[in-house]
Amino acid sequence: MDQRQRAIALTGLALLFLAGCGGEVPLTATEGATLFITANPTAIPVFEGVSTITVVGFKAVADGGGPLTDGTQIFFTTDVGTIEERVEMQNGVARGTLRSNGRAGRATVIARSGAGIFAPLEGDARVLIGNAEGINILLTANPPTLTSPNFTTELVATVFDNSNNRMSDVPIIFTTSAGALASASTSLRTNANGQATDRLTLLTEDSAEVKAFSGAIESNPVTVNRGTTPAPTGPLVTSIRPSSGAPGQTLSVTIHGANFQPGATVSFGQGIAVNGVTFVNSGTLIANITIDPSAQVSTGGRTVTVTNPDGGSGSLPDAFLVTTPGAAPAPIITSVVPPSSGLRATDISMTITGLNFQTGAAVGFSPGGITIVSTTVVSSTQIAVVIQVDTTVPAPTPFAITVTNPDGGTDTQPSGFTAT
């Protein structure tokens, strides 16, 4: 009796024994059978990802060839994710479902049936879960040097593939040698722009080294330092809303800027009385003013000056215009959509909503780095703008938005848009 006949005889005896015991014998591939295995897709997210594993089986030539018998059992194993332990052949094909379970890596799936009959997904055919390989992580901290009173910095990990495309849904863990992370080093995922963000606060530490990880992939290290407290800076005036008024008018004017202190005073120049100043916060003051009925109307705007109690002062030239009675009111910006974007060198459609927009109104951004592709005044309350952010603009960069009517009336929204 040759080896093949002996194996068949032993298999028959085992089947008779199990049948006599009332057991149910699973049908497996016979000696010499061949299995072929594929996966589709070969890359899935780390959460709720699904890939179909297909196995095609053929009998040995000595057994007549052709597809394996219907009901032939295929047993699956995987080292990453989860998969059914057993499926059945139908018309020579069996399919199982590989599911991700929050762990990233390359899944090696093996299909088995019978003694020594197996087929593995190996090498590049393995299923990539969570984009854990073939990626690069760029880590930045803004600001990298912290000063009083804010000792917190924003950390941004941007994930790229080997073709420099940003990758979403990649698990990221931030770590630090000192200080406290807002995430407490729990797993985060990159957004549609391929970025995951965290915040680091230095409590009493002088410095910390921060890294971001995705599986075994490590970002560049970033050092965050505690800097010396800078000397007090004077107030900075960036915009006035509204930016015009008529002789004899009493109105409230909102002043935007930075470094304002409680008790700050405001001056609009001769002919405009400041009745009172309300301190809202370090970036906002509200001044109630009365314009003298005999105040001179001019085409040039007045300089508005804010003076802090410590003597520091800051001014904005051409900030407030005394107009003729009945003149059109200045524009007012109330909202900007979207308020931020991570796109570069790509058209971004923006809607500016407000009041008193005139046909022909112009829109400006400062600082530089934004190109205005088109401006359309839809109505007196809405302007549609298409912009492009230059690739050299770092993230995040806030931009002030200014609307200027043809009659000279203007309004500025500080930090109206942020390039992330």
- pLDDT reported for residue 324: 76
- Report the DSSP pairing between strands 73-78 and 109-112: antiparallel
| Cα Rg of the chain (Å, integer) | 35
For the chain (420 residues), the mean pLDDT of every run of 10, in chain order, is: 43 43 68 93 81 94 91 93 93 93 82 91 83 74 87 92 76 94 93 93 91 87 82 81 86 92 93 94 94 82 91 89 76 90 94 90 93 93 94 92 84 88
Cα separation, 377 vs 361, in Å, equals 7
Q: Supply the pLDDT for residue 20.
A: 44
- In Å, the largest CA–CA distance within the chain is 124
Instruction: Supply the pLDDT for residue 409.
Output: 78
Q: Which residues have C-beta within 8 Å of that of residue 43, sequence separation ≥ 6? A: 127, 128, 129, 131
122 touches 85 (CB < 8 A): no
Whether the Cβ atoms of residue 273 and residue 249 lie closer than 8 Å to each other: no
Q: In 10 A of CB 100, how many CB atoms? A: 22
- β-pair type (145-146, 222-226): parallel
Q: Which domains are seen in the chain, by residue range?
A: 24-129 (2.60.40.10), 135-226 (2.60.40.10), 236-322 (2.60.40.10), 332-419 (2.60.40.10)
Residue partners of 32: CB distance under 8 A and separation at least 6: 59, 60, 61, 62, 63
